Amino acid sequence: MANVVVVGAQWGDEGKGKIVDWLSERADIIARFQGGHNAGHTLVIDGKVFKLSLLPSGILRTGKLAVIGNGVVLDPWALLDEIEKVSKQGVEISTTNFVIAENTPLILPIHQDLDKIREKAAGKSKIGTTGRGIGPAYEDKIGRRSIRLADLSDPETLKNRIERLLSHHNALRIGLGVDKIDGEALKKTLLEIAPLILKYAGPVWKILNEKRKLGKRILFEGAQGALLDVDYGTYPYVTSSNTLSGMAATGTGLGPRAIDFVLGIVKAYTTRVGEGPFACELFDEIGEHLATVGREKGTVTGRSRRCGWFDAVLVKQTCVTSGVSGIALTKMDVLDGLKQLKICVGYELDGKKIDYLPIPSDQQARVKPIYEVMDGWMETTAGARSWAELPGAAIKYVRRIEELIECPVAMLSTSPEREDTILVTDPFVN
């Protein structure tokens, strides 16, 4: 029985939610391993739209265990709001099908305050944060001053954790010209929410290990995308966590030997939200077509996504850094009706051709795409569930992508609907 990691192989928003939901039918446990409620997954099931940020996509399947691992930073208020919303849509969430790692760090209102204050002060140097406190919460984790979920179970421990946290934050807030945080008020607020969230707490590493010994299939669900990884992304225009597949091990406590297949989710074109370099970005009618037909708005922020041609250089690179076994190619149908398509096959930097994205920010901003032109197709791919239903030009496009990124296509998604999926290689059959 194989265990599968799903990661985004571009700048996020690749359609991971639908793919994870589709795969979760074959899995027993679905575990989120990094990020926070800055992630956004939109799923369309039988015409019904579900929007998730913290809850693993598998929560929509009955008889599955949904897990939030310790690599996630958790806003307890946002989680409870999300639970309430999806419960009203008929999704049952209880301690029998949902567990949170007890060592998961919490996002507090002070983290959101700091996030927004810094971004406003940065002016033209802003990095496009969502303002949800993700970065400051990870900073506190590394600084060993986080309040973790388990800390809510003991008032004395919580008091000590708050004192250590505020010794840092209040000094920072004074320097930024904002009011200090009242520790007693924060403690009261946390103790009020504690029983609502603690009931889901558990030793995730132990639970997953026991399930694995029983032969249960585990699906590890990533958030954001590989190009937003804090180490290998377009730094500093990145998220505050490691988004690569290796984080599935440390973000759940199960270890790398538990990973059998890495599925990279890739759009048939390229998008990104917020600031940062984007060599293949389009500012013409084609870019407008991708944005309009692809409905390119962020699930969490509502911000419009920047759109461009498929960048094979970047995807080849992320397939290496995440150890991708196969890709799931999504949103093929958005390219329907385009007579001509382009794929970025290399970059030009200061007159020289290179085959990877360099690390220095100034060089990332200066690279120019080298395109290969292919014929498009006028037929529709929307709703196709087999290769036989795809136009010949669409199949050629897929095969060329496989050659350029040196990684096979394992799945193909042709609409937001769950069942409009072509399975080439089952990731769970290892």
Active-site residue list: 13, 41
Q: CA 414, CA 351: separation in Å to the nearest integer?
A: 39
245 contacts 5 by C-beta, under 8 angstroms:
yes
Structure tokens, 122: 């940065």
Per-residue burial over 235-273, b = 16 or more CB atoms within 10 Å of its CB, e = otherwise? bebbbbbbbbbbbbbbbbbbeeebbbbbbbbbbbbbbbb
Dihedral of CA atoms 241, 244, 245, 248 in degrees, nearest 10, equals 0
Burial degree of 170 (CB within 10 A; 0-12, 13-18, 19+) = middle
For 370, what's the count of Cα atoms within 13 Å in the CB-facing half-sphere?
A: 13
Residue whose token pair is 């080849």: 316
Q: CA 422, CA 22: separation in Å to the nearest integer?
A: 11
Q: What DSSP string describes 24-79?
A: HTT-SEEEE-SB-TT--EEEEETTEEEEESSS-GGGGSTT-EEEE-TTB-B-HHHH
Name which of 377, 104, 335 is nearest 241 in CA terms: 104
